[in-house]
Amino acid sequence: MKNVKNAKKAKSRIIKEKQNKKIKELKKNMDIENVISTKKLRIFLLVSLFLLIFLIGRLFFLQLIDGSHLSTLAAKQQTTDEKIASKRGNIYDSTGNALAISETVDTISVNPSKIKSKSKSKESDEDLKKKIALCFSEIFELDYNETLEKILHPTSNYVVIARKVEEDKVNKLKDWIDTNKITSGINIDEDSKRYYPYESLAAQVIGSCGTDNQGQSGIENSYDSILKGVSGKIITSTDASQSEIPNSQESFIPAENGYNLTLTLDIKIQSIVEKYLKQAVEDNSCSKGGNAIVMDPKTGNILAMASNPTFNLNDPRTPTSFYANNWDSLSNKEKSDKIIEMWKVRSVSETYEPGSVFKLITASVALEENITTTDNPTDFYCNGVENINGTPIRCWYYQAPNYSTHGSESLRQALMDSCNPSFMQLGRRIGTATLYKYYDAFGFFNKTNVGLPGESSGIFFEQSKVRSVELATMSFGQRFTITPLQMCSAISAIANNGYLMQPKIVKSMTNTDTGETTEFNNVPIRQVLSTKTAENVKSMMKSVVTDGTGKRAQVAGYSIGGKSGTSEPSSANANAGYTTSFAAISPIENTQVVVLVTLYDPQGSSHQGGQTAAPVVSNILSEILPYLGIEPDQT
């Protein structure tokens, strides 16, 4: 029995030990699991803390640092700007005739990414864009594939489809949009189309506009900021589909329309001048065209400014026959250069050698400085050739077969005969310094600032480099260049009793919104000559027309004064050809108009200004003097 009890005890102890061992192992395992859970918890807490700090930092950055930028981006996404085009101001002549006007048209554009439709038909975006491209190609007569390419693969968010669209086509598009329930993506913006009622008349002066209504030449360019005005806009709030949010705040900024301009040009006088200039260019086969200016010497107002050849302002990028020679063979740059050349206002942009017309300036300086008088019969002597430091310079009159000379002459006779040797002698007496002082006073060294684009100024030798030969040629108007307007302005100073006026092409501007008109004042620049000197020069100009080289400028019943000019090309520019010109004033007393006609490279029977340009001046004056109400001088 005792052994049995001992065995039971031993067994019980073994069982107990096993149980204790399991308990210990279980407790150990539990301790290990508790340790692992604590580590995970710590890592979780650390990660959570890091994320919390990151989020707080990000919110701080977005709200305080980048907040204004994000607000701007949000505003852009949630608002749309509808442009309100300003109306470009009109251009009128001095008598109220419209030279350039703007008609209301529309520009059609798309925002390809915003094209939406509420149509019940289940169309893909691509199918909808194809339908729109087909609509555009049919209404606006466009190539379907090119239009589709613009819409499917746009290079920007805003794609222009058609410009300057007339009202009937716009109405067709609006009907199509309503029928197909297009809610966004197609834009119809009001625009204006420039129209020129007189087409080619005063084309270079008026100028033209590009497709964006930006002035590209002439007055349209130089006064662009005044003519075009300031665009307005309507700002509205939109939802994600770019539909306007009802009852949202709307901002309206009205457009400021451009000013109307009234020019000093008189369309009647301009028409007369262009008619006779065109005829002269054709009759004398002038390979480089011609130019003409009519000016009021008392005010500086330009009554006409014409160039030939001209062009059609309603189609300004189509060259006239004068510029279209070998057009198809030219490169794009060469074509562009030709068009720009065609647009130039030659009266201010191209300089030329004035020739003997400039003798009026030399004579004026001599009389003002009391170096000579008008009628001393032995003051000068012409033997046909003047030898200047070994360089012989001939008189135009000294030619085969007779080789005639003018002999002894007064200043009046020298001007009537247009004698080069006499004026070379006079130039030596005056001297370079005095001549340059008066050249500056007459405005030859500066632009006239008339308000036309591309204006040039006179090109003279530096005073320190003028030697005897240069002084001689300057005295009769060669080997330097000035613009036609500078020459016309200087002669106007003589006609205006010695007072030089600022040339003017714009008379006034009118605010089209208020009706307020601003007049541009006549601006006296300076007195260049005394009244006595001016009267003496005008008297000699009259003699040139009555008994000298300017006889062909005569107009029955009117007193005309003038001077012819012929400049031969320099040896360095032999292909330029001769330039012939004639300047005239009328009436002699109380002069009302100054006319300057310039012909470039005449190929006819004569290259003398008195033969080619003087008759043109006569024709012009014969019509514009009566038109201006100037009574004939019966004496």
Considering only 82-96, 474-488, 610-624, which range has the smallest mean pLDDT? 82-96
What are 127's two structure tokens? 């199918």
Same domain? For 446 and 514 the reply is yes
**Last residue of a domain, which of 206, 240, 263?**
263
CATH number of the CATH domain containing 83: 3.90.1310.10
| Portion of the chain with pLDDT greater than 90, in percent | 63
Same domain? For 129 and 236 the reply is no
pLDDT band for 253, please (50, 70, 90 cuts).
Answer: confident
Q: How many helices (H) and strands (E) does the chain have?
A: 20, 23
* Length in residues, the chain: 635
Same domain? For 249 and 360 the reply is no
Which domain, by its residues, includes 229?
74-104+195-263
Same domain? For 251 and 140 the reply is no
Query: Does residue 19 lie within any of the structural domains?
Result: no
The mean pLDDT value for 380-393 works out to 96
Same domain? For 143 and 223 the reply is no
Secondary structure letter of residue 635 according to DSSP: -
pLDDT per residue over 501-547, tens digit each? 999 999 999 999 899 999 999 999 999 999 999 999 999 999 999 99
Mean pLDDT across the chain: 88
pLDDT per residue over 306-350, tens digit each? 999 999 999 999 999 888 888 989 999 999 999 999 999 999 999
Q: Which residue has the higher pLDDT, 484 or 123?
A: 484
**Last residue of a domain, which of 230, 248, 263?**
263
* Per-residue pLDDT, 82: 59
Same domain? For 455 and 395 the reply is yes
Rounded to 5 degrees, φ, ψ at 281 are: -60, -40
Same domain? For 436 and 476 the reply is yes
The mean pLDDT value for 155-162 works out to 83
pLDDT per residue over 110-125, tens digit each? 888 888 888 766 778 8
Same domain? For 200 and 222 the reply is yes
pLDDT band for 230, please (50, 70, 90 cuts).
Answer: confident
Give the integer Cα–Cα distance in Å for 191 and 88. 10
What are 83's two structure tokens? 């442009």
Alpha-carbon dihedral angle through residues 418, 420, 425, 431, given to the nearest 10 degrees: 90
pLDDT per residue over 454-468, tens digit each? 999 999 999 999 999
Same domain? For 300 and 360 the reply is yes
Counting the structural domains of the chain, the total is: 3
Residue with tokens 């720009």: 340
- Picking from 327, 107, 338, 90, the residue whose alpha carbon sits closest to that of residue 209 is 90
477 Rama sector, left if φ>0, alpha if ψ -120 to 50, beta otherwise: left
Query: Does residue 174 lie within any of the structural domains?
Result: yes
Query: Does residue 42 lie within any of the structural domains?
Result: no
Query: Does residue 66 lie within any of the structural domains?
Result: no
Query: Does residue 44 lie within any of the structural domains?
Result: no
Same domain? For 544 and 456 the reply is yes
**Neighbour count for residue 337 (Cβ, 10 Å):** 13
pLDDT band for 232, please (50, 70, 90 cuts).
Answer: confident
- Picking from 297, 363, 358, 362, the residue whose alpha carbon sits closest to that of residue 540 is 363
Same domain? For 146 and 218 the reply is no
